Amino acid sequence: MGEPQRTSLLDAPEHVLSTLQKDGSRRWLRPRLSHGHFLTARRIAAYLLIVIFTAIPYTSINGKPTILLDVVHRQFTLFGKTFLPTDTVLLALGMVGFIITIFLFTAVLGRVWCGWACPQTVYMEFVFRPIERLCHGTAGRGGAANRPVPKWRMALKHVLYFLISIYLAHTFLAYFVGVENLRHWILGSPFEHPVAFVVMTVTTLLMLFDFGYFREQMCILACPYGRFQSVMLDRQSLIISYDPQRGEPRGKFEKHVASGARRFGDCVDCHQCVTTCPTGIDIRQGLQLECIGCAQCIDACDAVMVKLGRSPGLIRYSSQDAIDGKPRRRFRPRLVFYPTLLVIIAALLAVVVSHRQPADITLMRNPGLPFVLNPDGRVANNLRVKITNRQSSPASFSVSIIDDPQAQLTMSSNPVMVKPGESLTVGLVITLPREVFVAEKHPLKLRVTDGDAVNRQLDYQMMGPSNGANHE
């Protein structure tokens, strides 16, 4: 008996990562295209999404961009509504709601988003890979292309990649800076907008790196959504699955053998489902983190089954329980828990939105002395008022004191013009005769109005000397 073969502790297992060779080098994936119903449907969905993604920055609702994530000015405009930093509660609720919706969506539909709608998949599979196939020809999986690629084809591929990366970078940034700014940047000289030029160049290079080099590793290694899928899915979630009951034991196709006399299951081990997989996995090994649910393996396997006169669906949309022959469960705790949370969040959002004012107005005392005694004997308080205009048009806000003829208000400018979505802080001084102060405080009411939608009354405690009334 020979000695058992010893392996070094540093020897990597055969399959560490689908994009990694055993020696640690990159395994380049060139998935074979498999035509079928799902590819046709995904293609239509992908090109529609590309049109929508490109068009959204050019559209507006109520005179505002449909989506503008203006990080620089800290304003988010979503479907014609602008949210400011003061909308923290609203944004936090929206974010929590969004995350729970992702959890619910994934629990029901698995990774449909990844395979059908994620920009990474859409652009990779329906823009960059077709260009690659055009320039390289249709190769199998892994290693170099099957035949040498002429230099001019390689050059053409890189030029096309670069041009599409420029388009992608501009479209992506349009969501953050708006199309008007973008047009201004494009038409102006880079020396006029050096920062914008650098941002655009870096974004273009990142796009080129992602789609030209990093590719499917974005889904396998970098995307947190893929990493979290194991906690988001349950045994009833929709997944793409190979049916081992039907497929195993796998073996070569046996010609002229009656179905009852076959030694093997339906899987003929043709590897079509593997060579078509954009993340390089073998779905027959069960649900894997790398599976983005693109359904390419379904199309590949269905074509094989039809060719062999067997019914399609050896690989299909299913669930872990269904594949194991277990009944469908009507009650799934997460399908009760997530919607309940969403209803609560929707109710809270409705309350917050209904209490949203067309302007935020805050009155603040200036730091330092609570009051000052003026030479004319009047007591002065120094304040500032912060006005945030949430309306879609500029508004002129005037500040006044209500029903106290002894009080005098001084401001550097009154009324105050505030642009839509902007905040302005202005200083103001209120004075009262010293005799008014029987105690240290004297209540006042201020009004801030734009003469239209905004009419706010603010309470203020004027500070003064405690014995002002007895002072000689």
- Contact set with ligand SF4 (CB under 6 A): 240, 242, 247, 267-273, 276-279, 281, 283-284, 291-297, 300-301, 304, 314-315
Residues in the chain: 472
State which residue, 272 or 388, has the beta carbon closest to ligand SF4.
272
The residues, ordered by sequence, that sit 6+ positions from 378 with a Cβ below 8 Å of its Cβ are 408, 431, 432, 433, 434
Cβ at position 252, least distance to ligand SF4 in Å: 10
Cα separations (Å) of 369 from 194, 310, 463? 46, 89, 10
State which residue, 164 or 292, has the beta carbon closest to ligand SF4.
292
State which residue, 85 or 249, has the beta carbon closest to ligand SF4.
249
Cβ at position 75, least distance to ligand SF4 in Å: 38
State which residue, 304 or 462, has the beta carbon closest to ligand SF4.
304
Cβ at position 261, least distance to ligand SF4 in Å: 19
Q: Please report which helix (H) or strand (E) contains residue 455, including its range.
A: strand 455-463
> Which is nearest to 244 in space by CA: 280, 299, 284?
284
- Work out the widest C-alpha separation in the chain, in whole angstroms: 121
- Which two tokens mark 402? 């209500």
> Which is nearest to 279 in space by CA: 232, 353, 231, 217?
217
Cβ at position 297, least distance to ligand SF4 in Å: 3
The residues, ordered by sequence, that sit 6+ positions from 210 with a Cβ below 8 Å of its Cβ are 120, 218
DSSP state at residue 318: E
Cβ at position 136, least distance to ligand SF4 in Å: 20
- Alpha carbon distance 364, 194 (integer Å): 39
Cβ at position 233, least distance to ligand SF4 in Å: 13
The residues, ordered by sequence, that sit 6+ positions from 342 with a Cβ below 8 Å of its Cβ are 97, 100, 101, 104
Cβ at position 455, least distance to ligand SF4 in Å: 59
State which residue, 108 or 270, has the beta carbon closest to ligand SF4.
270
Cβ at position 25, least distance to ligand SF4 in Å: 22
306-332 b/e with 16+ CB inside 10 Å = b?
eeeebebebbbbbbbebbeeeeeeeeb
- Alpha carbon distance 387, 406 (integer Å): 26
> Which is nearest to 19 in space by CA: 297, 392, 277?
277
Cβ at position 99, least distance to ligand SF4 in Å: 24
- Alpha carbon distance 339, 343 (integer Å): 6
Cβ at position 34, least distance to ligand SF4 in Å: 8
Q: How many CB atoms lie within 10 A of CB 223?
A: 16
- Which two tokens mark 467? 């014995």
